[in-house]
Amino acid sequence: MGINRYLKGEIPYNEKNLRTLLDAYTSLAEAEARVDREFYSSISKFLSLIKVAKLYKAEEDFRIKMILMLKGDK
């Protein structure tokens, strides 16, 4: 990601470009939150709250497992 490259010093500091990257990052985070809220709203209509909670937990566990596999820490 571009922000990491700035922080590591791989890309010379440029305030305009860094601001653009940070704006894009926060916009993405807002969009993800919006999708999460819409998903929760729709799925909670036909699943119990405990099942929704278990689904979120399973997704998070899977995400962590995939990250560890990519890093090689199986």
The token pair that represents 68 in the structure block = 């560890």
The pLDDT of residue 13 is above 80: no
**pLDDT tens sequence across 30-53:** 999 999 999 999 999 999 999 999
Q: Residue 34 is encoded by which pair of tokens?
A: 């919006």
Task: For the full predicted model, state whether its pTM sits above 0.75.
Answer: no
Can you tell me the mean pLDDT for 21-32? Answer: 93
Confidence of residue 74 (pLDDT cuts 50, 70, 90): low
- Distance between CA atoms of residues 69 and 71, nearest Å: 5
